[in-house]
């Protein structure tokens, strides 16, 4: 239709239109003249010709005006569409999906194509849940159920592409036309950098600044978390407490920089020994360290605790002010529990601390187990 309208403006088409109109009008005039008078009257022909030419030109002018108006509207619409598409495609790390009222895809921007690994043409007409899988499908289905009139629904999902995991924060909102629901708009921003920064800051907040292992805050959270898990699964959990023997004397003799270096080396022993996924070594405070061992019975925990004690002594760090050894040594307390509902994780902590106290009382540089 657009090509026909453009051709209509051409001079040849205008001339052809006028000529056809004149010939048709003259044919009608001749027939009318013959019917009324039995002959072709010249005055009828002249009047018909002049009238037809005038009317034809008026009609052509009107049509040209309409065509120009339609072309201007078409050009404006095309320009707006190009601008809008350029804006949507240049949103960088923002995913944009337009859906109809049945949540079928009407539009995908470039980012959405990349994330979903499908072209806009192939995705068109498919429900959004057909284009995602696994836990992401559950997120999208929940969003579709939860979106309310006048209020969008926010959720999060992740995708693996560009050889990395990207985290998105998405909002699903209604599209209204004259107050009626016309579809839905899904906008998701790539929040990967911010999430990674938050995780880094969280990790730093859980890390002991001197030794690099977990700090007391992380220890407390992990112990409570693993205690609850042990209650649910009816599994044993063990706790090792470690204290450097005569550490104050060490600092007084060798100085605090040497003391800091000693703490780092012992922390390294713990982190190397407590290397199983789920286990955690932490600096409990001052010269005290701790290790949480989920799903670990007494026999396995005892073996690890003795390894820690032996490895520290094996470092052969000189300690001239120690009353038990020429080297830096540690006292170790161990407690193991299989908790039940109603038990508190402080029972485990108190047991390990009690065993550590006995290790010091019995001469240090030894492991003592709390048998509660």
pLDDT tens digit string along 279-302?
999 999 999 999 999 999 999 999
pLDDT of residue 13: 61
Rg (CA), the chain: 42
Q: Lowest mean pLDDT of 8-17, 43-52, 68-77, 167-176, name the range.
A: 8-17
Residue 87 has pLDDT above 50, yes or no: no
Q: Write phi, then psi, for 144 (nearest 5 degrees).
A: -65, -35
Q: How far apart are CA 114 and CA 308, in angstroms?
A: 50
Q: Write phi, then psi, for 164 (nearest 5 degrees).
A: -155, 160
Residue 333 has pLDDT above 50, yes or no: yes
Are the C-beta atoms of residues 25 and 47 closer than 8 Å to each other?
Answer: no
Confidence of residue 245 (pLDDT cuts 50, 70, 90): very high
- Which residue has better confidence, 40 or 137? 137
């Amino acid at each position: 239709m657009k090509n026909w309208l453009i051709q209509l403006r051409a001079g040849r088409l205008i001339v052809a239109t006028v000529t056809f109109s004149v010939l048709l009008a003259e044919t009608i005039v001749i027939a009318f003249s013959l019917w009324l008078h039995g002959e072709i009257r010249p005055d009828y022909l002249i009047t018909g010709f002049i009238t037809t030419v005038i009317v034809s030109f008026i009609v052509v002018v009107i049509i040209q005006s309409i065509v120009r108006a339609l072309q201007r509207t078409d050009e404006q619409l095309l320009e707006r569409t190009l601008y809008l598409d350029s804006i949507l495609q240049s949103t960088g790390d923002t995913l944009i999906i337009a859906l109809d009222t049945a949540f079928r895809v009407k539009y995908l921007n470039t980012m959405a194509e990349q994330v979903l690994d499908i072209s806009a043409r192939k995705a068109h007409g498919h429900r959004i849940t057909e284009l995602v899988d696994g836990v992401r499908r559950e997120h999208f289905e929940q969003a579709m159920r939860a979106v309310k009139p006048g209020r969008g629904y926010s959720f999060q999902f992740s995708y693996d592409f560009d050889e990395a995991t990207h985290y998105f924060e998405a909002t699903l909102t209604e599209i209204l036309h004259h107050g009626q629901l016309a579809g839905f708009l899904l906008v998701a921003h790539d929040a990967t950098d911010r999430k990674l920064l938050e995780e880094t800051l969280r990790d730093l907040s859980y890390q002991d600044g001197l030794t690099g292992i977990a700090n007391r805050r992380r220890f407390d959270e992990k112990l409570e978390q693993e205690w609850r898990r042990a209650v649910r699964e009816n599994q044993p959990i063990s706790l090792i407490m470690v204290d450097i023997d005569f550490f104050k004397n060490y600092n007084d003799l060798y100085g605090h920089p040497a003391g800091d270096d000693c703490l780092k080396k012992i922390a390294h022993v713990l982190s190397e020994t407590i290397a199983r996924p789920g286990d955690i070594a932490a600096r409990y405070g001052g010269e005290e360290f701790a290790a949480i061992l989920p799903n670990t019975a007494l026999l396995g925990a005892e073996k690890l605790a003795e390894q820690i004690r032996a490895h520290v002594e094996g470092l052969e760090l000189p300690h001239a002010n120690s009353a038990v050894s020429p080297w830096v040594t540690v006292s170790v307390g161990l407690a193991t529990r299989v908790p039940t509902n109603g038990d508190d994780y402080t029972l485990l902590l108190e047991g390990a601390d009690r065993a550590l106290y006995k290790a010091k009382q019995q001469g240090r540089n030894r492991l003592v187990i709390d048998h509660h």
